[in-house]
């Protein structure tokens, strides 16, 4: 099974699909960052310690991780090295109360992309988040491929076996989200958060309805289906 080349090229309108993990044990600071980022329409998860952060970074495709250095148990430096060792390709912005050069060096050597010293103004954090996300997006190709399915994230066009498929806006957002996570199962909750930017009631079948639309347009005429149901969990796009 081969996953798609994981890319993420976004315009401002795509802010809502960008997902950020905050690893910070100080509740007040974590809440402050979480609130501010959610107001900017980012999807945000918070982990209060390094182990939880490591777990979340493993199972979710984040676009950025904001990582505090001083954490109980596994500290930020260790978690940063751990993430790089696993070859998770995600920008890391480290936060710390320390502003000693030696700590910055340690952070960069561990694989951090940027560094912010506490206390900081939210605007500065936001500016750095923006720079890291833009840099990441500029470095990535804009076409996602899964088998003979091609998704052009700049043109918002989709082809299967070279044939253009016409999709509605939400259908496109859904297939792009599945393709960005190709080979990984995405739950209905993840889909509703990313594609609709809200939590549906767990009994809602909106996601299933849209998956059916996509199956009719993407899989029906093809020999091999790419959209697979994982019973009781969600969906995965794979060859």
The site for Ca ion (CB under 5 A) is made up of 25, 68, 70
CB 98 within 8 A of CB 75: no
Query: To which H or E segment does residue 220 belong?
Result: none
CB 20 within 8 A of CB 193: no
Q: CB-wise, 70 or 131, nearer to Ca ion? A: 70
Q: CB-wise, 16 or 68, nearer to Ca ion? A: 68
CB 178 within 8 A of CB 213: no
Q: CB-wise, 48 or 140, nearer to Ca ion? A: 48
Best CA proximity match to 108, nearest among 96, 98, 122, 94: 94
In whole angstroms, the minimum distance from the beta carbon of 34 to Ca ion comes to 15
In whole angstroms, the minimum distance from the beta carbon of 111 to Ca ion comes to 19
* CA separation for the pair 18, 37 (Å, rounded): 10
In whole angstroms, the minimum distance from the beta carbon of 183 to Ca ion comes to 34
In whole angstroms, the minimum distance from the beta carbon of 184 to Ca ion comes to 30
Q: CB-wise, 68 or 114, nearer to Ca ion? A: 68
Distances from the Cα of 24 to the Cα of 33, 79, 88, 198, angstroms = 10, 12, 19, 24
In whole angstroms, the minimum distance from the beta carbon of 120 to Ca ion comes to 14
Q: What's the gap between Cα 98 and its chain centre?
A: 28
Q: CB-wise, 45 or 68, nearer to Ca ion? A: 68
Paired residues of 115 in beta bridges: 94
Q: Which residue is nearest to Ca ion (CB)?
A: 70
């Amino acid at each position: 099974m081969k996953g798609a080349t994981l890319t993420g090229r976004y315009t401002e309108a795509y802010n809502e699909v960008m997902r950020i993990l905050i690893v910070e044990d100080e509740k007040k600071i974590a809440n402050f960052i979480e609130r501010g980022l959610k107001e900017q329409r980012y999807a945000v998860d918070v982990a209060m310690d390094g182990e939880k952060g490591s777990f979340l970074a493993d199972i979710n495709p984040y676009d950025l991780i904001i990582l505090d250095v001083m954490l109980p148990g596994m500290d930020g430096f260790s978690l940063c090295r751990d993430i790089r060792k696993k070859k998770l390709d995600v920008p890391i912005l480290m936060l710390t109360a320390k502003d000693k050069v030696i700590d910055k060096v340690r952070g960069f050597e561990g694989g951090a992309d940027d560094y912010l010293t506490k206390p900081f103004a939210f605007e500065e954090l936001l500016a750095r988040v923006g720079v890291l996300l833009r840099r990441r997006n500029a470095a990535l190709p804009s076409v996602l491929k899964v088998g003979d399915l091609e998704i052009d994230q700049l043109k918002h066009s989709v082809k299967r076996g070279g044939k253009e498929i016409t999709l509605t806006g939400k259908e496109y957002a859904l297939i792009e989200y599945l393709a960005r996570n190709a080979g990984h199962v995405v739950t209905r909750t993840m889909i509703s958060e990313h594609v609709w930017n809200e939590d549906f009631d767990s009994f809602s079948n909106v996601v299933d309805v849209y998956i059916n639309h996509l199956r009719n347009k993407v899989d029906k005429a093809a020999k091999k289906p790419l959209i697979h149901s994982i019973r009781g969990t969600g969906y995965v796009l794979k060859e």
